[in-house]
Structures are given as C-alpha cells and as structure tokens.
Structure 1
Amino acid sequence: MMQSPLQRYHLIGIGGIGMSALARILVQQGFPVQGTDQKESALIDQLRGEGITVQIGHSKEALGVATDVVYSSDISLHNVERAEAQRLGLPLWHRSEMLNLCMQGKRPLLVTGTHGKTTTSSLLAHLLIEAGFDPAVVVGGIPLGLGTNGRWGLGEYFVAEADESDGSFLKTPAFGAIVTNLENDHHSYWKEPEMLDRAFRAFFSQVEGPQHLFWCADDVRLSALLPPGASYGFSEQADWKISTLQSTEKGLSFDLSFGKVSYPSLLVSLWGRHNALNAAAAFALALSLGAEESALRRALISFSGVKRRLEWKKTVETIELFDDYGHHPTEIQATLSALRTKIGAKRLVVVFQPHRYSRVEELMDLFCECFDLADLVVMTDIYAAGEKPIEGLFPLLQQKMKDRLGPKLAYFSRGD
C-alpha cells in the first residue's frame, strides 16, 4: 500500500467488525488512525489499546486533521461526518475500496459465498500462517487463535472475506478464491435471484488463476453457473472429493482425494458437515499455493475456531453453552445439525433472535422449518440492524413458528 506517511485515516463506524479490521491493518502499517461509533464496546476498548483514537458519537468536529475518510454501506449520505468530508473535499473511501487499496502489491485470496465465509477465511489464514506464508488477513470475525480480525503480514498473500451482501465483492479481482455456496439473502440489495447469479459469474471471471479457484460442488445453484477452477465436496462430481466423514470427541475426521492423490484421515477441531467442506476448501487452496501437506495437517488440528461461530463458552455442571452468529435458516440448520451430532440425545435448547426484517420477511417459512432438531426454542424480538421495522411481521413469524413447534417454542421480549 503506497500512501504518504502524512495520511491520517478517519473511519466512520469503526466499531463494526469489518471497519475495525481495516483500522487494525492500517495502524499496523504505521498510519495514524481514528474513528467514531455510536456506542462503547469491548472491541473499541481493544482498538484504543492498539493506538487508535475512538470517539463515541458522530460530529463534524470528530474529523479533526483527518486526510481521508472511510465509510461502510451502513453509513448514509446524511451522516454528519460523511457530509462534512464531502464539503471539505476530503477523499471518501468505501470500506471495500480501502480494502482494495490495502491489497495493492499483494496477491488477494478471497473467500465469498452466502454462508461460511468467516470460518473458511479464518481457516485459510491459519493454515497459511502456520505454513510460514505470513499473509495479511482481514476477516469478518475474531479467530480465537489469532485474537484479531485484522493482521498485516509481510508475505505475498492477502486473505480476506469478499462481501457479497452489497456487491462489493466485485471491487477486487482475486489471485485465488474459495466460493462456499450461493443462496438468496440480503434481499434489500439483491432484488432478483438473477442479479445475484450474474454477480457471482462476474466474480468467477475476475479470478486471475483458475488453478487457485475452488467452489463447492454440493451446491446445485453454484454448480449450475459452470464455474472455472476446481470443485470440492461430498458429491461424486467433485474434483476434490470428501469421504469417510466421522465426528470425534475432538472434532472431525475425513478423507480427501484429488484424482489419484489421496489425503487420508484429515483431522480438524470443528464440528459439522459444513465445516468439513470449509476445511477441505482451505486445505486445497493452501496446497495449490505450495504449502507443505504436513504443515497443513498440523494447522487443521490446531485451529481453535472463530468467536461466535459455534463457539464453546463454558460448562456449568452438565450444561454446555455455545454461541453462534448464524442468522440465515441454512446456517441455523447446519449449526443445530452439528450440535446434535456432537451431543447425541442430550437436550438441545436454542435462544434465537431473528436478524433483519427484510430477511425474516423473505425467508419466513424457512425460519419455521430450521429448528426441528431443537428440544426447546426460546425466541426474542427481531434485531433490526438499522432497517425500518415492518409492522405485524414478528407476530406473524411467532405464530407460524408456534404452529410448527407447538410447546417447543417460548418467547421473551428484549426488555425482559
């Protein structure tokens, strides 16, 4: 990233998971970084401890002596800081544009797809770090072993999530990539399924080296796009084929084969069929870059997961507590399936907060169906995530879930 040492970056909404990662890699490169957010958080405390100035509340004065201003898709044109930067003629960068700028001079390894981006990109970063590649990393969660969502590295590769939610995953052509799956989501942006399909075709076309492009053959919609590169999955049509999946006390064991080459008994410290797919993709891409198999095997075992991705929190007497960010029905179903396999016949109690009105409106029937493996579902009110509430939507969801789950569904308001 070639910029003047006089640059001072101001990030609006710096406490968000994507913006905080950018702030971290900027300050690690020696740039002064500051920012604002609406409320305090543990993440903001960490940023301050890393030398980043954070102000709570938005104001014109917060820009100070900033030379460049960075914003995300959640920051409106009417935000006072964004409007003031515009008035002053300061360079305004969308988060994806700044990420692209940070990648200059490196080879981007991008992970995209509707589900699994954070775990897969975190796995890939861990594998490359342990294999000695020293990549830069920007991910949408906190890998527990790494302890940060933003890491600058001196190696040639840059591992990042490519966010499809607002189309920004097309801003940066990839050197190599993993595409995990393709499903309708973020309906306020992708009005029609065909728009999303076209965007993924465009993403595939931008990948520099098809020998470093991997996509999931188990996803019917993704396969129908006829992507270049190599496929992976449990499907007989997969180029990289997963077989003999077993769940152990410590995680997963599976075999992986590519043509006549076999990689038997790969072990990863995660649970669930979906995480076997994630691990296979990261393993295959790392191998294609020249990483040693033995180093990758050790790294799969030592990977300790990602915060809020089926994260074990504590055990109280006989009760195990896990935290998971999954907010799409497919993600919820995959998480519950992984837990059911892990815990067997034990009682599975789920506390569920729906995320975004637009998602609930579009996927209501799927939300009603994805909790069948639970013994009890305790539901609370919809988290708007900045969206305007849709009157009557939550009572409708509640009634439909009650019709399916009966006494297995309970409710408490966010104020309780």
Structure 2
Amino acid sequence: MSERIHFIGVGGSGMSAVARLIAARGYAVSGTNLTETAYFQALRDAGMDVQLGHDAVLVDGAAAVVVSTAVRETNVELARARELGIPVWHRSEALVRALEGQRLVAVAGSHGKTTTSAMVAHALHASGVDAGFAVGARVFGIEGAVAGGYAGTAGVSVLEADESDGSFLRYRPEVSILLNIEPDHLDFHGTVENLHRAFADFAAQSRTVIACVDDAVVRGLVDAARAAGAHVITYGTADADAVVGPEGITRNGVTLPLTVSAPGAHNRLNATAAWLAAVEMGADPASAAASFATFGGTGRRYQLRGEAAGVRVIDDYAHHPTEVAALLAAARDGGAGRMVVLFQPALFSRTRDHAANFGRALSVEDAAVVLAPVFGDREDPIPGVSSELIAAHASMPAGSTLTLAADLEEAARLAADAARPGDTVFTVGSGTVTLAADWILARLAERDADG
C-alpha cells in the first residue's frame, strides 16, 4: 500500500494542483476543506479521498501533512500532526517533491502568474511537448487536467511561483519568468526592499531568466541576475531582445504573427513571455506563437460564467489595484459596454495599504460599482479597515455610481438589479466573490422570466 499524504485545505486553487501532482507520483492522497469549491469537486470527481470539514482523526496514519500559509496552528488536523510527530510540509515543499527530476519553468510576478503559466503549458502542448503544470486555477483546453494540476509525460513542468510567503525560493528552475513587481504581501515581506530582494534571489537561482523590461523594478534586477550567472532574455514593447508590437513578436530580426485570445495589452506581454519560455524548453517557435489564438484561458481569469436577461457575467480574480485597472481597461477595449462591477477586497492589510489605488482603479466611466465587505481570508480584522476606505478614495465620473453592500449576498442583489440588457457584470476579487456570479445569473434569469 502506498504512503498517504494528507492535505489540509485541499480545495484551494494551489493546494488542489499540488495534490494532483503528488497523486501522480504514486502516493495515496487524502484531504479536507471547509467548503465545496470547484477545485474540491474536481478532485472528488477524479476519485481522490477528499472530505468536507476538518477532523483530527483523518491525519492518523499519514506519512506527511501538507499545509498552506493560510492554515493556522489551531487547526485540529495540524495540531494532531504536530502531536503525532508527522512531518508537515508547506505546499511548496510538497510541490518540489512532486516535481523532483523535472525540468522546470517557474513564473513569478505580482500579476499575471496564473495566465502566463497556463500560456506556457498551452504553447508547449501545441508543439507536442506533454508538459505538466501546477497552476492556481483550472486550465481550460488541456485534456486530463484536474483542477490546476497535470502530470505530463515529457519531464517538463510549468509552475506558478508564489512570492506571497517567500515559498518561490524553494524552486531551482531551468527557466524563470519575471513579469512585474509591485508592493504587495508586505504582511510577510515587511518592506518593499525585502520584497525586491526576494525576487532577486529567485532570479539568481535560475539558469535562464526571462524578464519584462517594461516593468522598472524587473528591469533593475536584470544586471543582478546576469551577475549571478543567469542567462537573461528581455522582452517588452521596446528596447528588448523580444519585442511585442501590433504585428507580432520580433526577435533576432524575425517577426512571428501573434494573436492572443485573452483580451488586453498585458496579455500580449504575457504571451510573449510564455513564447520565450516555451521555445527555451524545446517548443517550435512558429507553433508556439500561433498557439495563443486558441488559448482557452483559466478559471476566474476573464471567465464568462453565463448570460441572462441580455447581461453577460464575467468572473475575474483581480485583487490588486493594478490588476483591477487592467481588467476594466481590457473590458472597455473589448467592447464590454456599460459595466457593473462587484468588487470584494481581499485581505485587510492590502485594503489598508492600497485603498487609494483601489478607489482610483474603480472610478471608471459608464459603470455601477458595488463594494462587498473585505474578505479577510487568513487575516484577522484590522480596526478601522473596511471597504469604506476604498469608497472614500473613489471619484466616480458623472453617470457612474458606487454602492457599499452589507454582505456578499446583498452585493450580488445590488449588482444584478443595477444591470440592464447589453451590460456586462464583473465579479472581481480573490475571495468568495466567485460565488456571486451564480447568484447574479439566477436573479437575472428570474427577472427575465417575470418579464
């Protein structure tokens, strides 16, 4: 009988991907989660032993217990593992074990990691390379993927490298991507300087670094990466080894056409990074560049959840001001029309630190914005920090509105009631706001049925 690895919080996006890869290594996998997420359901549908609710007895007999930073020491299963002396692995440590012996592509940055990681995997598969991946969302279009995890057979894997808790420093990738670096997760890193140092250390551990020189902080790390012995390939909209423009990607004097299914200028940059990484790992350049036109996207990244009463509902994971601004700009450029935006801030510390930028990002024309309460996740409330801080910094243009909701359910009702035929409703944030998409669709359908 194979050793059993137990996952606490297995229904999370990152944990579910690691669980899939651990299972592919021949381990038995068990796991628990408080809520029945889509990732949890995907693992259960794949035949894994996952259960709702935490129970200390489920840890007994496990060879190791896997946790994320969000699991607190007071969790009954973690406490039981400590009591029994069962090894406790952080999620990233489990991922390292799952990918032992693989050639790795690691994608790091404040924004765009999930989409870019999935783009790398997609480009490799389009070139006949059966790459594995560990991505923090469902990846559409790759048969056999469970949640965000896929084992692959090529000895090549793509992983989303998380800087939020410093765990990306556990990886030793053959190729790494540096997308962008902005102040975030300072609850862990403490200072912006520490955050930048962590990214520099991550780059120094890579054989090849693919760096976006459109980002000033990333551009500042290029020389340090070279000094550490890494081969650096730069990309951007100008003055780079690979330049993305209206016609396509140009490198070494050759331009390959580039059509990207995901909207937004930022996704053309993401595709360029993914193309460079895929080619470094053996993909055919032309096939890889052409593949992005058929990229199926990932869960909660501009994901169309449905349409009712003439209103489209799109769900997106954007949870930093830059991401929210990029999402709404891409939507506007993509013809979304009038927008209804339900935004749920995630983390009290991020809300405190970025309230002004969130307010500016949400102050868009021809829009109805609804603010749900802060989703605390792993944090305790901070006195005086609420969605009202964001509202105080918003300056809505004439014709646009902003409304504060008492809870997520009320926010969903307000968003549905604000929507008119031809509008697009966005549910935005990294927390439980994804649940609101279905509630909004149901309310719209009921309204349509009532005439």
**TM-score, normalization: structure 1?**
0.91
Given residue 66 of structure 2, which amino acid in structure 1 is its aligned partner? Answer: V
Q: Is the 8 A contact 1:8 1:67 kept in 2?
A: yes
Deviations 1:123-145 (CA, angstroms, capped at 9, x unpaired):
10111122111111100111122
Gaps of 5+ in 2: 227-231, 411-451
Following superposition, the deviation at residue 403 of structure 1 comes to 4.9
Given residue 206 of structure 1, which amino acid in structure 2 is its aligned partner? Answer: Q
Partner of 2:210 in structure 1? 214
Aligned partners of 2:363, 2:349: CA distance in 1, in Å? Answer: 23
Q: Is the 8 A contact 1:368 1:404 kept in 2?
A: no
Identity %: 36
Q: Is the 8 A contact 1:55 1:62 kept in 2?
A: no
Aligned partners of 1:370, 1:101: CA distance in 2, in Å? Answer: 40
Q: Is the 8 A contact 2:18 2:134 kept in 1?
A: yes
Moved more, 313-322 or 300-309: 313-322
Aligned partners of 1:74, 1:195: CA distance in 2, in Å? Answer: 21
Following superposition, the deviation at residue 399 of structure 1 comes to 4.3
Gaps of 5+ in 1: 245-253
Given residue 17 of structure 2, which amino acid in structure 1 is its aligned partner? Answer: A
Does 1:108 find its partner at 2:104? yes
Partner of 2:339 in structure 1? 348
Partner of 1:90 in structure 2? 86
Deviations 1:253-308 (CA, angstroms, capped at 9, x unpaired):
x4111132222x21121110110000011111112223113321442122111111
Does 1:386 find its partner at 2:389? no
CA RMSD of aligned residues (A): 1.8
Give the secondary structure class of the aligned counterpart of 1:93.
strand
| Correspondent of 1:285 among 277, 289, 299 | 277
Give the secondary structure class of the aligned counterpart of 2:140.
coil
Q: Is the 8 A contact 2:370 2:403 kept in 1?
A: yes
Partner of 2:140 in structure 1? 144
| Correspondent of 1:320 among 312, 320, 334 | 312
Given residue 295 of structure 1, which amino acid in structure 2 is its aligned partner? Answer: S
Deviations 1:134-188 (CA, angstroms, capped at 9, x unpaired):
1111001111223530011111211100100000000011111111100010121
Partner of 1:193 in structure 2? 192
| Correspondent of 2:236 among 219, 233, 258 | 233
Aligned partners of 1:70, 1:298: CA distance in 2, in Å? Answer: 39
Following superposition, the deviation at residue 395 of structure 1 comes to 5.8
Moved more, 225-234 or 39-48: 39-48
Aligned partners of 2:61, 2:387: CA distance in 1, in Å? Answer: 49
Moved more, 21-30 or 169-178: 21-30
Aligned partners of 2:4, 2:217: CA distance in 1, in Å? Answer: 44
Deviations 1:321-346 (CA, angstroms, capped at 9, x unpaired):
211110100000000110010117x2
Does 1:257 find its partner at 2:250? yes
Deviations 1:64-92 (CA, angstroms, capped at 9, x unpaired):
32121111111122322222222222222
Q: Is the 8 A contact 1:337 1:373 kept in 2?
A: no
Aligned partners of 2:331, 2:395: CA distance in 1, in Å? Answer: 24
The verdict on how the C-alpha distance between 1:395 and 1:150 changes in structure 2, with shifts beyond 3 A counting, is: closer
Partner of 2:183 in structure 1? 184
- After the TM superposition, which parts of structure 1 deviate over 6 Å for at least 4 consecutive aligned residues? none
Aligned partners of 2:310, 2:42: CA distance in 1, in Å? Answer: 33
Aligned partners of 1:112, 1:48: CA distance in 2, in Å? Answer: 29
Aligned partners of 2:148, 2:42: CA distance in 1, in Å? Answer: 12
Give the secondary structure class of the aligned counterpart of 1:308.
coil
Following superposition, the deviation at residue 201 of structure 1 comes to 0.9
Q: Is the 8 A contact 2:387 2:404 kept in 1?
A: no
**TM-score, normalization: structure 2?**
0.84
Following superposition, the deviation at residue 396 of structure 1 comes to 4.1
Q: Is the 8 A contact 1:354 1:383 kept in 2?
A: yes
